Structure 1
Amino acid sequence: MSHILVPIFVCVVVPIAVVAIAAATKINNDNKRAEVFIKAIESNCGIDADKLAEALQKPKKTDREILNLRLLRGCAFSFIGIALCIVGIVSLSTGTEFSADPVTVPLVFGGASLAIGLSYLVVYFVTRKQIND
């Protein structure tokens, strides 16, 4: 019985709990900001409501920060993809059959990771030219 419950718990309950916790955190943060804003309006102590609303907004990343994150993700995914592809090719060259897990799993995940990394790098180089202009 327990060998059935563990996969169900891992595949169903844990993802639902993670999403619920993330949603509850976001709702709590929004409620706290709204509460501070309402208290400031009620106290009517001469605070400009527009400036307060602007100050209570979530901090936005600058274009340079977004660009640096794209470069970081692109390099990380690309290097992970290259490493996994190398592991798969080495396993294949040592005589492991292509349909075996030591070959196909690294090649599949390595190819996907490499594709994601290269797409991040392409977006980085394209947007870098737009930001400099």
Structure 2
Amino acid sequence: MNGFKNSETLVIDSLIRKPGAFENYRYRNELFPTSRFRIAYDSLKKQHTPSVAVKQYLNILYLAAHGSEITVDNVLRLLINQNKEISYKQVELLSNEPVPSDTEVQIPPIDLICYDQLLQEEVLC
């Protein structure tokens, strides 16, 4: 499933042709569908010149708009969590492979007996 609207896809397509317009695009913040996309863009800006970073990011957005935003977001999650370099080629490559799901957190049941014992010790002191 894709979260991009037709109008957003058209904007991305036009920005691909004129990447210099991205920085001054009025609704630029709307082109960061999740926080991971923003992290990816900021990472690209640290790694590359501004024009290269914008082109890389717009290509990543293009993948999300014309493919699956969820898949691209999961790939970005994987790259960010593993502190790997983010690039269009890397995202494109990993988008065609199964990406492990988020880590499941297991919280064991609380042992209230221990808590009761602590309270009894506190009262006795």
TM-score for the superposition, normalised by structure 2: 0.24
Q: Which has the higher helix share?
A: 1
Q: Which has the greater radius of gyration?
A: 1
Select the structure with the greater relative contact order (CA < 8 A; seq sep ≥ 6).
2
TM-score for the superposition, normalised by structure 1: 0.23
